[in-house]
Amino acid sequence: MRIRNHLKPSILLALLVLGLATQVSAQPDKISRLQPVRQTPVRVVTTVNFITDLVQQVGGDRVRVEGLMGAGVDPHLYKASAGDVRRLQQADLVFYGGLHLEGKMVELLERLPKAIAVTDAIPRERLIRPAGGFQGQFTYDPHVWFDVTLWQFTIGRVRDALSQVDPAGASRYRANAEAYRKRLEQLDAFIRQQIAQVPPQQRVLITAHDAFNYLGRRYGLEVRGLQGISTVSEAGTRDVQALADFIVERKIRAIFVESSVPRRAIDAVVAAVRARGWRVTIGGELFSDAAGSPGTPEGTYVGMMEHNIRTIVNGLLGREP
């Protein structure tokens, strides 16, 4: 068990700056500024665990990857510890989500020259702009991994960064990246095939927070979240009552909890629906901002997505898992 020592953001930044000769802000050409490492495996630190999986898929045995956030950890709320800052300093390369996914670590990561946001590879015109954003922070919805065709862009970003710091492994990284890209093409086809089983009028996905808009847009689901795109602000009574009204009006039979978000707010929705004379069930638990535990199928990006889609389809159709 690791004991966490949480520090104020100002102290974290001071620790990060300590020992760095130069400091650069986040720029599109960050990868070109990376310096080759002296030995392999390349020491990589990642934030959320499905990015850990992404780097392992592309890097193979030429990288040693350490993730800061495990299963069930909410990246919107995660605060870096002093130990995390040391790991970031000592790494050869850092990969993070970007788009303010790691809300409490944004400034820390953007100031680190060797930290690469994997979502920088995604064309901005394909990103979703949330209505009003969250406290002015979100220009785009960061939950891009729920559209597999968008997540494929991150493969090249990781491949290029690893090739820059480890030129001798470039051909290996290219081969691994291409194999993984093809695997994600299969995943995208699987999702479309599964969703097609659900009648169009039943394709309504209700979850704890608004993380599934990319899934809805790509695969034809109407999406509603009790909270916004971040879990920082909790849902209020008005939100619960409004969602309950929507569920009753649309005669929705299943809603879903998330592994990284407390379920008490969803339980409140279920109770509010029941008070209106309608019955809605919990259709299952989805992995939203974190994949499952290491060593389980759900601990990988592909396994997480397959679990989510099977759970959603079974829940919407009223089938036993």
What are 24-54's pLDDT values in tens digits? 334 457 999 999 999 999 999 999 999 999 9
Q: What's the distance, Cα to Cα, between the start and end of the chain in Å?
A: 33
Q: Work out whether the CA dihedral 66, 72, 75, 79 comes out positive or negative.
A: negative
pTM above 0.75, yes or no: yes
Instruction: Read off the tokens for 246.
Output: 């929507």
The CATH classification of domain 192-317, taken from the options 3.40.190.150, 3.40.50.720, 3.40.50.1980, 3.40.190.170: 3.40.50.1980
| Residues composing the chain | 321
The helix/strand/coil state of 164 is helix
Spatial separation of the C-alpha atoms in residues 304 and 301, rounded to whole Å: 5
The CATH classification of domain 9-189, taken from the options 3.40.50.1820, 3.30.465.10, 3.40.50.1980, 2.30.30.230: 3.40.50.1980
Instruction: Read off the tokens for 311.
Output: 């759970």
- The DSSP element (H or E) to which 53 belongs, if any, is helix 49-59
The structural domains of the chain, with segments of one domain joined by +, span: 9-189, 192-317
pLDDT score for 237: 85
What is the phi/psi pair of residue 241, to 5°? Answer: -65, -40
Spatial separation of the C-alpha atoms in residues 104 and 118, rounded to whole Å: 18
Mean pLDDT by 10 residues, the chain (321 residues): 43 44 49 96 98 99 98 92 97 98 94 97 95 64 97 99 99 99 99 98 92 97 79 68 94 91 88 96 94 96 98 93 64
